[in-house]
Amino acid sequence: MAATVGVAGSAMTRFGRQPDRGVAGSAMTRFGRQPDRGVADLAIDAARAAMADAGIAAEDVDALYLGTFLGRSLQGQGVLASVVAQRLGLGPVATTVVEGACASGGIALRHGMLACRAGAADVVLCVGVDRMTNASSGEITQGLAEAFEAGVDRELGLTFPGFFGLVASAHTARFGTSRDQLSAVSVKNRDHGSGNPDALFSTPVELAAVNEARPIADPLRLLDCSAIADGAAAAVVVRDRAAAPRPDRCVSLLACEQGSGPAAAAAVEDLCSFGATTVAMRAACRAAQIKPADVDVVELHDCFTIAEIIDSEDLAILPHGEAAAAIEAGATRLGGEAATVNPSGGLLSRGHPVGATGLAQVHELVAQLRGEARNQVPGTRVALAHNLGGSGATASVTVLAA
Amino acid sequence: MSTAAGGSAVVIAATAIRAAPEGFEPGYVLVLLEAEDGARRLARLDVEEPPAPGTTVAI
């Protein structure tokens, strides 16, 4: 047999300036009930606004990644990325739909970053969208339940409020998390979301109202839960920030990392932590060369009040087991002693058109880093977005910097 | 419990679904159980209120 000669490994330092990837522009539609806009219409509205914000023309876009979870099951629309690209006039560019349940938008951004990092594209349009309010509650529940592994939880009647009810039950048993502490998350985020013109709910709520709201899945009540909505958000990712049409408005995309985990309740090893988040956070900190303490502002996945408590711990924004008390004490409010969490109002205010949420988070953070946010956190230099899918089946963590 | 297999299990977490999806009557209780051999599973309990985590139930 002839010997095969190969190179098993090699290394060298790179020569020249490394491109600084960036988010050149972002936008979102209003989240809420939009009966006159189809799912493609919503995506196009957000995409056009993001391209205008970036100063990017249709012919500049090399690829489109579109995150949606319910585009097929509720709207009956496959190849949505191609539909959107054609209607935007992007030409025959590569188009891809990505799906990671409620983290679909964050994952779309990650794929845009990867394409730029690989040198396969200079400009990528990343869009997240879902349209939900035209469907019945049964159809929506069934569609969302597809984020559970088939053959186990769905058949027993587990819903996502039910899953996070189990999570809250476990967290309460381990850490003594109180009803008031859960409610404090909702009060904070609804306060941050007050006056947000893009949010489904733009009015504050009192603690007593959250405590006494209609029970949904013990111990969670109605105001512990984010609401379904129609909406889209978009971001333009560029390979080289310096080459963007408006470099002064382009923020650095330092990292966009991803983790995964179980899609069945019984397979979740620890209901008080989502492994997908911790894996993505560690990878993001490594890639961005930051520590959690460096983060000034966070948009995290508060699909339920208990999720914000656990996310804050998994992201190491607050100490493990102490987040509920710290949030109740105001640590993550605007002006609090820790990083500000969900200055937009989060999912609890904005609503949750699931595929759009991850990019709506990025839109808020771009505004924060430009110093143009409605609830501006003074001196923001480093911003972090966290997008969770399903029962922790997937998660993305994005680090942006001024 | 809705399924009987013998033995006992510890409740890891429990919830009562008060707003049920279509096809289900609201008010059912779901529990995450851990058996003596460490195996976990989700189950429905025929009870009014969810048991506290740490409770041992017969299965």
Query: For residue A157, what is the nearest residue in chain B, using CA coordinates?
Result: B24
| CA–CA separation, A143 and A164 (whole Å) | 17
Long-range contacts, stretch A5-14, CB < 8 angstroms, 24+ apart: none
Pairs of CB atoms within 8 A across A/B? 89
CB distance A125 to A64 below 8 Å: yes
Query: For residue A222, what is the nearest residue in chain B, using CA coordinates?
Result: B19
Task: Give exposure, A34-62, as e/b (b: 16+ Cβ within 10 Å).
Answer: beebbbbbbbbbbbebbbebbbbeeebbb
CA neighbours closer than 13 Å in the CB half-sphere of residue A322: 11
| CA–CA separation, A197 and A366 (whole Å) | 17
If you average pLDDT over residues A67-76, what whole number do you get? 94
Rg, Å, chain A Cα set: 20
Distance from CA of B54 to the nearest CA of A (A): 8
The residues spanned by each domain of chain B are 8-58
Long-range contacts, stretch A114-117, CB < 8 angstroms, 24+ apart: A115/A62, A115/A63, A115/A65, A115/A237, A116/A19, A116/A21, A116/A237, A116/A238, A116/A239, A117/A21, A117/A239
Query: For residue B44, what is the nearest residue in chain A, using CA coordinates?
Result: A156
Please report which helix (H) or strand (E) contains residue A110, including its range.
Answer: helix A104-117
Would you give the distance in Å from CA A296 to the centre of its chain?
A: 17
Query: For residue B23, what is the nearest residue in chain A, using CA coordinates?
Result: A138
CB contact under 8 A, A169 and B53: yes
| A301 is known as an active-site residue | no
CB distance A298 to A386 below 8 Å: yes
CB contact under 8 A, B21 and A138: yes
Question: Above 90 in pLDDT, residue A3?
Answer: no
Helices (H), ranges, A176-331: 179-192, 207-211, 275-288, 305-314, 323-328
pLDDT band at residue A13 under the 50/70/90 scheme = very low
A267 interaction partners in chain B (CB closer than 8 Å)? 40
**Each residue of B7-17: pLDDT tens digit?**
899 999 999 99
Quote the percentage of chain A above a pLDDT of 70: 96
CB contact under 8 A, B17 and A161: yes
Residue A72 lies in a domain: yes
CB contact under 8 A, B50 and A156: no
| CA–CA separation, A69 and A87 (whole Å) | 21
| CA–CA separation, A323 and A28 (whole Å) | 30
| A352 is known as an active-site residue | yes
For residue A260, count CB atoms less than 10 angstroms from its CB and return exposed for 0-12, middle for 13-18, buried for 19 or more: middle
If you average pLDDT over residues A93-101, what whole number do you get? 98
In terms of phi and psi (left: phi > 0; alpha: psi -120 to 50; beta: otherwise), the region of B40 is beta
CB contact under 8 A, A173 and B54: yes
pLDDT band at residue B46 under the 50/70/90 scheme = confident
Q: Which of A141, A153, A166 lies at the smallest CB-CB distance from B21?
A: A141
Looking at A192, A301, A352, A363, which residue is catalytic? A352
CB distance A399 to A290 below 8 Å: yes
Nearest to A38 by CA among A89, A9, A76: A76
| CA–CA separation, B41 and B59 (whole Å) | 11
Question: Above 60 in pLDDT, residue A120?
Answer: yes
Q: What is the CATH number of the domain that holds A231?
A: 3.40.47.10
| CA–CA separation, A219 and A62 (whole Å) | 47
Would you give the distance in Å from CA A14 to the centre of its chain?
A: 32
Query: What's the pLDDT score for residue A17?
Result: 60
* Residue with token string 């002064």: A248
Q: What is the ipTM of this complex?
A: 0.92
Best B32, B40, B45 residue to mutate vs chain A (most A CBs within 10 Å): B32
Under DSSP, is residue B12 helix (H, G, I), strand (E, B) or coil? Answer: strand
If you average pLDDT over residues A332-360, what whole number do you get? 98
CB contact under 8 A, B43 and A156: yes
Question: Above 90 in pLDDT, residue A18?
Answer: no
User: How many domains would you assign to chain A?
Assistant: 1
| CA–CA separation, A40 and A87 (whole Å) | 9
Query: What's the pLDDT score for residue B59?
Result: 79
Amino acid (1-letter code) at residue A226: S
Q: Give residues with Cβ within 8 angstroms of A45, minimum separation 6.
A: A29, A37, A232
CB contact under 8 A, A141 and B22: yes
- Kindly give the pairing relationship between strand A382-389 and strand B8-17: unpaired
Least confident of A17-31, A89-103, A254-268: A17-31
Distance from CA of B43 to the nearest CA of A (A): 7
Query: For residue A141, what is the nearest residue in chain B, using CA coordinates?
Result: B21
Number of C-beta neighbours around residue B3 at 10 A? 8
B41 interaction partners in chain A (CB closer than 8 Å)? 266
CB contact under 8 A, B17 and A266: no
Looking at A102, A126, A272, A303, which residue is catalytic? A102
CB distance A210 to A223 below 8 Å: yes
Under DSSP, is residue A322 helix (H, G, I), strand (E, B) or coil? Answer: coil
Distance from CA of A173 to the nearest CA of B (A): 6
If you average pLDDT over residues A220-242, what whole number do you get? 97
